[in-house]
């Protein structure tokens, strides 16, 4: 069985590592331990050597660093060239990317350059008895899970969504750092970056929101309603309601979800203090994930929930909002 | 610009998704009776091309790799304003993964001749890998920009492109030849006009098989696909009904984990 | 017999459906509330070619036939029968100009209508009657080189949104004493009167037109002097009835969709109510009515496109489809149970819209008069 060299692309922008790279190192570590392989991280940029300690602490046995002014900010063609050269030189067995904006642009281009296979948005990775990477990919809105293999071509490439894998952080790890030589004739062609800027996500109308936080009669009052608005704001989502909050004036008519209101199909629906009458359910049962928070364990909404949280929303939503806030900050901190 | 190619993929109509069934034996989707539509993001790609055509008079060519039954979908793209359409269709293309598909599209595009711009949707509703745009560009040896949320014509042939990234945007400038893949933020796709529907009836829809493309058998279809499907499991459609346990704070933490796993934070 | 629609017809339907769902749906609540026609819809509908559908390309139209028109009106009506009604009557004005206008009249009046810059209306009905056309009281008198019109027209669709009115008035005695006129609303003595508040087709503008010594240039007579009855009969029986039938057909399609959706989602006794035989029988009835009406509507339009005489077929399509839409709307409401009578649910609007179509564009009874004559014609005895 081949001893896999498992590589992870460490995405960074402006010297800040994307958490997904560290998460993938955690998974790579797990795969390496099971197969006796080594984990290498690949880090490209301008002044990125300072990040190697954290990368090693997160599970890399080896960090391959490529530093060059042309590699900051990220540009597709120079990055593809450097990574392709590194892969040809070191011949890794597996190469993992985060399924981020950068990863989704870079990984496929590199796979095509290397004439190898790539699977997208894996929800799990395993090694089979022969050292092949088994890539679990969801399809049809989660209705099916395919297991993809890349039996012949190398490296076996996969992208994974942030948050799917778990970071491992140990203080005592030893790792090697190797600086890759950048070719004189590095391909720096292609689109020129004029500006990179942050922007707060725009509030989306209810029907287009990726996240919907909906409240029902169980909210009890306008003050409670603010907790929902806060949570929705943090998640970049919209606030929905059943009929009673609209009647009480906590929410607007156009926020009403149900047979006589709006139909929503967000990626995440969080129903708080909603009992789950059928005329509300038909307005949201197409949601990808349904979370229900209600103090009544027998509330009908739990029958259509993926995640049931039985409890007082006033004790659950505030700590949830705090956790979300923490993770949003953490995603950008070194 | 002289020629813009728009890659269009026919996908099962999302309105009919509830009716899609998986054949448990062949592990493929049963598509009978499910109408096909233009992949929604491809409409944004087509709109971008047509906006340039409105301003500058370019030829917009619709290109698609799909079964022959997909001709009505290409006709729809012509009825939106495409000047001609090419359908790449051959039994030997079946089973292609994204790399093999990109090889086939690249061959079709090379056969067309020169081009300035290729426009694609950022991802398709059915495959959703978002891999073809970068792979196609690589095989054609041209740069590409994904996640395009805005495109404007600059001086001469320059294009000013805005790319959507996590929590922000990147502004770029580029020249043809170039491949852009569009998000739904990029524009509002036009409706067909009746006059365009009538005019489109006279536009060419050519079908090219591998006889025209001459691709080696080992580079296309199942044989040409580095990735293979080893297994396919149908997940239970019902809701999981996972009941969280613990104190409210513990449950809140577990809930935050689940939200994180969805990639939303 | 080939009952298949062509690819062109499918594309027309698809484009119209997308526009209706995207641009018209958000305006429905306001229409129900105010009854006003959303005039900002004219631009997107004109851009698509809906306003100029049957106008010749020579005058800025698309030049499609009546089957295409029926499909487009049906698809509009599926979302909003009120908007479809506005377009239907607008087409009638264009049809009348097409059939009876001089070259100059067509050149002047059809392009703005085709381009949706304004709407058109057809003013026949008066307080003295709509069915009783010959009993009309409005008069037209030639004084020098001007026609002077006097009278009131009521229950006129697009009365307040139209710049051009096709007005029928009595200019002489007997059946050959009616004449048709093109009235520009800016003409001296031309006024709009009251706006009617209907219980259905809300969003289709209906109102009164007043002619108070209205002065028209001599050239504004449409067709021959004394030919007004022909103008009325042809316009109403051809574009009018097929248009009304298409509006009702769209309502029927909406009834079918709403009822089917609700029956498949509403759970009682542990199953969707669609599993109950009674509900499935109602659905069977609605499904059959829908098919019957579609065949009647398409057949009548097809005959026009083949230049065949079709006034019986159009009468049949109109009177049957409007009644069927009301019957099926009632069934659809009953399938919804208590939800069916709540204003938040779409289905109650479908019944109100269907009821209005029964008496609009020719009452059901007049339709039956035409059909009765046709039915008995083969059995007529000599003498």
CB contact A328 to C (< 8 Å): no
Output the pLDDT for position A1: 47
Tens digit of pLDDT for each residue in C181-211? 999 999 999 999 999 999 999 999 999 999 9
Output the pLDDT for position A253: 84
Q: Which residues of A touch B236 (CB under 8 A)?
A: none
Percent of chain C topping pLDDT 70? 100
pLDDT band for C10, please (50, 70, 90 cuts): very high
In this structure, the number of other CB atoms found within 10 A of the CB of residue C193 comes to 15
Length of chain A: 334
Backbone angles phi, psi at C105, to 5 degrees: -65, -45
CB contact B162 to A (< 8 Å): no
Q: Is omega for the bond preceding B177 within 30 degrees of 0, making it cis?
A: yes
C-alpha A5/C-alpha A52 separation (Å) is: 18
Output the pLDDT for position B240: 72
C-alpha A74/C-alpha A72 separation (Å) is: 5
Tens digit of pLDDT for each residue in C153-168? 999 999 999 999 999 9
Does residue C60 surpass a pLDDT of 70?
A: yes
Q: Which residues of A touch C344 (CB under 8 A)?
A: 260-261
Tens digit of pLDDT for each residue in C271-287? 899 999 999 999 999 99
Q: How near does any CA of chain B get to the CA of C18, in Å?
A: 7
Tell me the mean pLDDT in the region C45-71: 98
pLDDT band for B21, please (50, 70, 90 cuts): confident
Do C223 and C169 touch, CB atoms closer than 8 A? no
SS3 category, B5: strand
> Residue B19: is it exposed, middle or buried by C-beta count within 10 angstroms (0-12/13-18/19+)?
exposed
Do C145 and C101 touch, CB atoms closer than 8 A? no
Tell me the mean pLDDT in the region C99-125: 97
Output the pLDDT for position A168: 86
Range name among A259-268, A301-310, B7-16, C52-61 with the lowest pLDDT average: A259-268
C-alpha B226/C-alpha A158 separation (Å) is: 12
Tens digit of pLDDT for each residue in B195-212? 999 999 999 999 999 999
Tens digit of pLDDT for each residue in C280-320? 999 999 999 999 999 999 999 999 999 999 999 999 999 99
Angstrom CA distances, A255 to A239, A304, B75, C32, C108, stand at 7, 21, 39, 20, 48
Give the domains, in start order, of chain C with CATH numbers: 7-119 (1.10.540.10), 121-228 (2.40.110.10), 230-375 (1.20.140.10)
Q: Which of A17, A27, A111 to mutate to test the interface with B (most CBs of B within 10 A)?
A: A111
Output the pLDDT for position A263: 83
Q: How near does any CA of chain B get to the CA of A164, in Å?
A: 5
C-alpha C282/C-alpha C335 separation (Å) is: 8
CB contact A260 to C (< 8 Å): yes
Mark which residues 4-33 of C lie under 8 Å from B by CB: 7-8, 10-12, 14-15, 18-19, 22
The closest of A163, A130, A148 to A19, measured between CA atoms, is A163
**How many CB pairs (< 8 A) connect B and C?**
42
Output the pLDDT for position C73: 98
Please enumerate in sequence order all residues whose Cβ is within 8 A of that of C126, keeping only pairs 6 or more positions apart, or say none. Answer: C136, C137, C138, C151, C152, C153, C154
User: What are the residue ranges in chain A where pLDDT is below 50?
Assistant: 1, 331-334
Tens digit of pLDDT for each residue in B105-116? 999 999 999 999
Backbone angles phi, psi at C131, to 5 degrees: -60, -40
Tell me the mean pLDDT in the region C134-147: 95
In this structure, the number of other CB atoms found within 10 A of the CB of residue B252 comes to 25
Does residue C333 surpass a pLDDT of 50?
A: yes
Q: Which residues of A touch B168 (CB under 8 A)?
A: 196-199
Q: Which residues of B touch C22 (CB under 8 A)?
A: 191
Q: Which of B72, B82, B85, B191 to mutate to test the interface with C (most CBs of C within 10 A)?
A: B191
pLDDT band for B224, please (50, 70, 90 cuts): very high
Percent of chain B topping pLDDT 90? 76
CATH number for region B3-219: 3.40.50.620
C-alpha B130/C-alpha B84 separation (Å) is: 25
Does residue B47 surpass a pLDDT of 80?
A: yes
Q: Which two tokens stand for residue C190?
A: 């031309």
Q: Do C345 and A278 touch (CB under 8 A)?
A: no
Q: Do A278 and C266 touch (CB under 8 A)?
A: yes
Average of per-residue pLDDT values in chain B: 92
CA angle B45–B47–B48, rounded 5-degree value? 65
Please enumerate in sequence order all residues whose Cβ is within 8 A of that of B221, keeping only pairs 6 or more positions apart, or say none. Answer: B92, B93, B94, B95, B96, B100
Tens digit of pLDDT for each residue in A280-332? 888 888 888 999 999 998 898 998 899 999 999 999 999 999 999 888 775 44
Tell me the mean pLDDT in the region B163-182: 94
Q: Which two tokens stand for residue C320?
A: 């049957």
Q: Which one-letter DSSP state was computed for residue A304? A: G
- What are the extents of the domains in chain B? 3-219
Lay out the sheet containing A156-160: strands in order across. A118-122, A156-160, A94-98, A5-10, A38-45, A62-67, A176-179
Output the pLDDT for position C295: 98
Q: How near does any CA of chain A get to the CA of C26, in Å?
A: 12
Give the domains, in start order, of chain A with CATH numbers: 5-179 (3.40.50.620), 206-330 (3.40.50.1220)
pLDDT band for C383, please (50, 70, 90 cuts): low
**How many CB pairs (< 8 A) connect A and C?**
14
Q: Do B197 and C11 touch (CB under 8 A)?
A: yes
Does residue C349 surpass a pLDDT of 70?
A: yes
């Amino acid at each position: 069985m081949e001893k896999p060299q498992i590589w992870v692309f460490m995405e960074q922008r402006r010297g800040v590592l994307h958490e997904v790279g560290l998460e993938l190192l955690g998974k790579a570590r797990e795969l390496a331990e099971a197969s006796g392989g080594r984990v290498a991280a690949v880090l490209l940029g301008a002044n990125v050597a300072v990040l190697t300690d954290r990368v090693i602490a997160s599970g890399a046995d080896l960090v391959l660093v490529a530093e060059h002014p042309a590699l900051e900010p990220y540009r597709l063609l120079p990055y593809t060239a450097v990574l392709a050269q590194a892969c040809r030189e070191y011949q890794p067995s597996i190469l993992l990317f985060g399924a981020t904006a950068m990863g989704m642009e870079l990984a496929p281009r590199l796979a095509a350059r290397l004439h190898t296979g790539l699977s997208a948005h894996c929800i799990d990775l395993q090694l089979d008895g022969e050292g092949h990477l088994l890539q679990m990919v969801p399809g049809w809105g989660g209705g099916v899970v395919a297991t993809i293999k890349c039996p012949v071509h190398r490296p076996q490439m996969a992208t994974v969504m942030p948050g799917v894998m778990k970071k491992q952080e140990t203080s005592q790890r030893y790792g090697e750092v190797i600086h890759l030589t950048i070719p004189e004739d590095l391909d720096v062609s292609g689109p020129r970056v004029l500006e990179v800027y942050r922007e707060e996500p725009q509030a989306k109308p209810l029907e287009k929101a990726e996240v919907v936080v909906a409240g029902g009669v169980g909210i009890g009052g306008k003050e409670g309603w603010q907790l929902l608005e806060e949570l929705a704001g943090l998640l970049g989502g919209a606030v929905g309601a059943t009929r009673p909050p609209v009647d009480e004036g906590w929410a607007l008519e156009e926020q009403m979800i149900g047979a006589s209101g709006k139909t929503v199909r967000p990626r995440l629906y969080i129903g708080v203090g909603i009992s789950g009458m059928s005329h509300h359910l038909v307005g949201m049962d197409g949601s990808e994930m349904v979370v229900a928070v209600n103090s009544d364990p027998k509330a009908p909404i739990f029958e259509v929930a993926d995640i049931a949280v039985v409890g007082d929303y006033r004790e659950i939503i505030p700590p949830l909002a705090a956790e979300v806030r923490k993770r949003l900050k953490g995603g950008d901190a070194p | 610009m002289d020629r813009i190619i728009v890659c269009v993929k026919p996908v099962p109509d999302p309105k009919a998704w509830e009716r899609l069934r998986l054949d448990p034996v062949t592990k493929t989707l049963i598509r009978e009776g499910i109408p096909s539509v233009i992949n929604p993001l491809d409409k944004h790609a087509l709109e971008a091309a047509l906006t340039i055509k409105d301003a500058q008079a370019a030829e917009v060519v619709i290109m698609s790799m799909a079964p022959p039954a997909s001709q009505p979908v290409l006709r729809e793209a012509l009825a939106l304003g495409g000047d001609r359409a090419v359908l790449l269709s051959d039994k030997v293309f079946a089973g292609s993964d994204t790399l093999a598909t990109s090889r086939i599209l690249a061959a079709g595009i090379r056969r067309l001749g020169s081009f300035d711009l290729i426009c694609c949707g950022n991802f398709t509703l059915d495959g959703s890998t978002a891999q073809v745009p970068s792979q196609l560009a690589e095989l054609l040896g041209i740069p590409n920009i994904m996640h395009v949320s805005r495109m404007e014509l600059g001086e001469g042939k320059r294009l000013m492109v805005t790319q959507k990234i996590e929590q922000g945007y990147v502004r770029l400038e580029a020249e043809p030849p170039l491949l852009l893949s569009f998000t739904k933020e990029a524009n509002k796709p036009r409706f067909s006009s009746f006059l365009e529907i009538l005019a489109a009836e006279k536009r060419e829809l050519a079908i090219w098989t591998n006889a025209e493309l001459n691709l080696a058998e080992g580079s296309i279809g199942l044989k040409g696909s580095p990735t293979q499907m080893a297994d396919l499991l149908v997940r239970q459609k019902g809701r999981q009904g996972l009941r969280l346990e613990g104190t409210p704070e513990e449950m809140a933490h577990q809930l935050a984990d689940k939200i994180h796993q969805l990639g939303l934070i | 017999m080939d009952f298949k629609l062509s690819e062109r017809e499918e594309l027309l339907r698809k484009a119209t459906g997308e526009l209706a769902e995207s641009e018209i749906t958000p305006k429905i609540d306001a229409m129900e509330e105010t009854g006003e026609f959303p005039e900002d819809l004219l631009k997107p509908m004109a851009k698509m070619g809906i306003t100029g559908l049957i106008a010749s390309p020579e005058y800025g139209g698309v030049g499609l036939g009546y089957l295409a028109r029926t499909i487009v009106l049906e698809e509009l009506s599926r979302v909003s029968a009120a908007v479809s009604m506005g377009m239907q009557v607008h087409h009638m004005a264009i049809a009348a100009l097409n059939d009876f206008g001089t070259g100059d009249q067509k050149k002047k009046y059809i392009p703005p209508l085709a381009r949706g810059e304004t709407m058109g209306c057809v003013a026949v009905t008066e307080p003295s009657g709509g069915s009783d056309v010959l009993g009309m009281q409005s008069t037209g008198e030639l004084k020098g080189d001007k026609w002077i019109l006097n009278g009131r027209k009521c229950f006129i669709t697009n009365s307040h949104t139209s710049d051009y009115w096709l007005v029928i008035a009595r200019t002489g005695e007997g059946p050959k004493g009616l004449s048709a006129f093109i009235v520009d609303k800016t003409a001296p003595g031309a006024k709009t009167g009251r706006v009617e508040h209907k219980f259905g087709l809300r969003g289709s503008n209906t109102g009164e037109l007043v002619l108070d010594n209205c002065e028209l240039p001599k050239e504004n007579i449409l067709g021959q002097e004394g030919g007004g009855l022909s103008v009325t009969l042809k316009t109403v029986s051809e574009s009018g009835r097929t248009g009304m039938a298409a509006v009702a057909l769209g309502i029927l399609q909406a009834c079918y969709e709403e009822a089917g959706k609700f029956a498949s989602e509403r759970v009682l006794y542990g199953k969707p109510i669609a599993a109950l035989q009674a509900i499935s029988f109602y659905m069977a009835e609605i499904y059959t009515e829908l098919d019957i009406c579609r065949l009647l509507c398409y057949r009548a339009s097809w005959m026009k496109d083949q230049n065949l005489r079709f006034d019986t077929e159009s009468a049949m399509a109109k009177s049957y489809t409007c009644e069927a839409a009301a019957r099926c709307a009632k069934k659809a409401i009953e399938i919804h149970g208590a939800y069916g009578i709540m204003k938040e649910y779409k289905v109650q609007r479908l019944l109100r819209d269907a009821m209005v179509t029964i008496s609009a564009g020719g009452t059901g009874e007049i339709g039956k008069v035409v059909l009765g004559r046709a039915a008995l014609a083969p059995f007529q005895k000599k003498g």
